[in-house]
Structure 1
Amino acid sequence: MQWFTPKLAQKIVDRTMKILGKNINVMDRNGVIIGSGDRSRIGHTHDGALLALKENRTIEIDEQSVNQLKGVKMGVNLPIHFLGETVGVIGITGDPNDIREYAELVKMAAEMVLQQSFFLEQVQWKQRLKEDLVNQLIYDDYVDESSFLERAKTFGVNLSLPRLVIVVEIPHEQIQYVNQQLLRTLTYELATEDLAAFTYSSEIVVLKSIVNEERDIGDIIGKMERILQKVTNGKAGIGPCCSKIPAIKQSYELAKQAVTVGRKMDPERYVYHYKEVEFEILLSEMGQLPLAGSAFEFYEQLLEHDETGELQETLHVYIQEKGELNKTASKLFVHRNTLRYRFEKIQKITGKDPHNIKDLLQLYTALIVHQLR
């Protein structure tokens, strides 16, 4: 396996030269220079490196050796080892008597950079596998449970545990610079059994393991709100608890609907739990039916006569306050007589009496459908 790439080799060169102030060359396992402070030497074969590779030891090139070897200058060349292999050579240009004491330090620095690069790649590879797993769970219609359980085990995750699906949607203009930071923040907050990944739609989905939904949901919502307020002004939706793997897809879809409906109903909030808006989700689906147009014609009349929106606001607050007139009037900062006048006006325009339960339900349904369109 080729551990050194030209990009990584040059990174080692640049980092080491800043500290040492000497020219550095990095050669691959074929003795070819792939990184150097002297870019004109890149691509040339270095005989000193070939000798270091062949004998697997430090090779010092003094003034006399320069005339005997090809493509070399005075210096010290050390084999670089990683995972039990000799993977390349690092060379320091200069009189060996002057640079000998730095040689082992330079070699150690190169091996540390290589190790960091390897482990970073392993983390990124593992994250890509997680993303593939999560995307298949939320998008595919058919899920082989046993296969998914085995794949999740490779990450140390028991996918059979009950979990909530959390969808985080980021404003399009923020995706480039927020998503990675947000994923890192979320990952830091997650438990071992949780999964977080980017979706094909540039959202972040978290499969959050839970013990008890009723007990845990408040803490989860609070934590998500704090994270979103700190990192972005994105929105999050939380779907129902999944006790079976195939239910994850439906929970994801309901979490997305919770965001869509929630941001229209209450745009100041950051997190929407589907249970808080499931009635509105149902109404939004009703609003797509062909019958909805004729069924809510009366509301179009209200829209025409309610230029300021005060009648619609009155209906909304009246529902929020559970039909209590005093609380409704107080929240709207109006007298009860004004409230009564508004209800009479609504009835005159629509033919629906807000004091009548059936009529009020129709009015509120039409209000919600209109808001969600």
Structure 2
Amino acid sequence: MFLKDIAQRIVNLMMEVIDYRNINIMDCDGFILASGEPNRVSTYHKGADDVIKSGKSIEIYPGDVEKFPGAKQGVNLPINIEGKVIGVVGVYGHPDEVRMVAKLVKNSVELALEQYLISEQVNLVKDLNNQMIRKLIFNPISETEEEILCLSKVSHVDLKLRRCAVVIKLDKFSNDEVYESVNAMGEIEKLLTSNNYITNNDFFGIINHYFIIFKDIADEKRSTYIDNILHTLKDKQPFDTRIGLGNSYNDLYGYKKSFNEAVELISISKNVPLDINDFETQAKYLLHKIQTDASEPFIKKLYLSILNENNKVPEWFYKTLDSLFEHNLNLNETAEALFVHKNTLVYRLKKIEQITGLNVNNFYHSVLLYCLYSYINNIDKSN
């Protein structure tokens, strides 16, 4: 019974408010669940039992105490939640003195219990959504479709709506920092809900270090949406976040596709949110997909050719490629970002060509350079 879970906390708080006049909370069998007098907990209270049976309040005057075993003088009122009597609250004292106080306590107890129920229902919906999301993105739909549809019905989610995956990842936390990560995700949830970034047509969950929103959003609003999220998170919380947004789909199989797209975008993005609907992002995504077993022999050979005597990629080499691709091969912007003269950059590019044989001015060579750059990133992450 949920009343038992929080009854003593309510009693302790309410007694502070009414100058420590004793309060009891009783269950539907007339037994005391919580009390300011600990020795009375789990004992029978005839007054409460009569309240449960009649559904009406009972006032016990000093001369009537003997008629109510286990009770003392005071006012006993039914606790009504959603039209049902779920227990009794009693306040000690002469009924003429505590009648109004008892009504106030009853109202406060009912309000506290209603808030508790709402909180529990919200947590239940979150748990259901997390289960549903796990099945949507990790399990074969053909095997779990019935379970998914059942979960969606219980949590009132229409899975036929056209949605895309918005995936937010915290870079700060390792797999061992679960507690800190969960707290940070909770803060992200508060920020997103308070700023209306999650609407009634959306559902979300927290899986590992990913905060996942399946979002019903028009194509023309996508980029603005993730830009706003990134700015809000940067302003309000201290963690480094990466955001990816997959394609929109309107079937069960689309949820996994969109999630995988968003996660892959996160792996190739830095501090900028990436939307797969953007042409430049699509090109990066497709180039990233080239990193397969088929491409490794070619790219690995290039990778081995650039390692220094310490078996490391020279810092200048990586930073040059990093800035070059970030600025779309624009030499002026790249040199400015690297804080070097343009001639210095040209010299570096010639040196890269000497080492790898790849000329950045050749389109096909630049594609291989980008694949090499992605390969270096993947090696760094695996280490």
Corresponding residue SS for 1:365: helix
CA RMSD of aligned residues (A): 3.0
Aligned partner of 1:362 in structure 2 is 368
For 2:248 and 2:203, the matched residues in 1 are separated by: 15
225, 245, 266: which is aligned to 1:238? 245
233, 238, 241: which is aligned to 1:228? 233
Q: 1:216 is aligned with what amino acid?
A: K
Pairwise mapping of residues 154-233 of structure 1 onto structure 2 (< 5 A)?
157-170=157-170, 171-172=172-173, 173=177, 174-188=180-194, 189=196, 190-199=198-207, 201-211=208-218, 213=219, 215-229=220-234, 230-233=236-239
For 1:238 and 1:111, the matched residues in 2 are separated by: 43
Question: Which of structures 1 and 2 has the bigger CA Rg?
Answer: 1
Aligned partner of 1:109 in structure 2 is 108
Corresponding residue SS for 1:296: helix
| Residue deviations 1:80-133 (CA, integer Å, cap 9, x gap) | 233333322211112223223322222222222222223333333333333333
Q: 2:274 is aligned with what amino acid?
A: Y
Q: Residues 333 and 50 of structure 1: is their aligned pair in 2 closer, same or farther, counting only changes over 3 Å?
A: closer
Aligned partner of 2:275 in structure 1 is 273
Q: CA deviation at 1:152?
A: 4.3
For 2:112 and 2:326, the matched residues in 1 are separated by: 60
Unaligned runs of 5+ residues in structure 2 are none
Query: Is contact 2:24-2:90 (8 Å) kept?
Result: yes
Aligned partner of 2:12 in structure 1 is 14
Query: Is contact 2:60-2:95 (8 Å) kept?
Result: yes
For 1:238 and 1:122, the matched residues in 2 are separated by: 29
For 1:307 and 1:369, the matched residues in 2 are separated by: 11
Q: 1:310 is aligned with what amino acid?
A: W
Comparing 109-118 and 353-362, the one that deviates more: 353-362
Corresponding residue SS for 2:212: strand
Structure-2-length-normalised TM-score: 0.82
Aligned partner of 1:303 in structure 2 is 307
For 1:157 and 1:24, the matched residues in 2 are separated by: 42
For 2:54 and 2:324, the matched residues in 1 are separated by: 87
Q: CA deviation at 1:206?
A: 0.5
Unaligned runs of 5+ residues in structure 1 are none
Q: CA deviation at 1:330?
A: 4.7
Query: Is contact 1:237-1:256 (8 Å) kept?
Result: yes
Aligned partner of 2:69 in structure 1 is 70
Q: CA deviation at 1:38?
A: 0.8
Query: Is contact 2:24-2:34 (8 Å) kept?
Result: yes
Q: 1:298 is aligned with what amino acid?
A: L
The number of aligned residues is: 363
Q: Residues 355 and 32 of structure 1: is their aligned pair in 2 closer, same or farther, counting only changes over 3 Å?
A: same
Query: Is contact 1:137-1:248 (8 Å) kept?
Result: yes
Q: CA deviation at 1:308?
A: 5.3
Q: CA deviation at 1:302?
A: 2.4
Identity %: 28
Query: Is contact 1:156-1:192 (8 Å) kept?
Result: no
Corresponding residue SS for 2:111: helix
Q: Residues 232 and 243 of structure 1: is their aligned pair in 2 closer, same or farther, counting only changes over 3 Å?
A: farther
Q: CA deviation at 1:25?
A: 0.6
| Residue deviations 1:25-74 (CA, integer Å, cap 9, x gap) | 11111110001011111011112222333343332223332344322222
For 1:28 and 1:177, the matched residues in 2 are separated by: 35
Corresponding residue SS for 1:177: helix
Aligned partner of 2:32 in structure 1 is 33
| Residue deviations 1:166-198 (CA, integer Å, cap 9, x gap) | 112234343232222322332341222111222
Comparing 171-180 and 270-279, the one that deviates more: 270-279
Query: Is contact 1:261-1:277 (8 Å) kept?
Result: no
Q: CA deviation at 1:304?
A: 1.5
Q: Residues 281 and 46 of structure 1: is their aligned pair in 2 closer, same or farther, counting only changes over 3 Å?
A: same
Q: Residues 351 and 5 of structure 1: is their aligned pair in 2 closer, same or farther, counting only changes over 3 Å?
A: same
Corresponding residue SS for 2:214: strand
Aligned partner of 2:3 in structure 1 is 5
For 1:340 and 1:109, the matched residues in 2 are separated by: 74
Query: Is contact 2:74-2:93 (8 Å) kept?
Result: yes
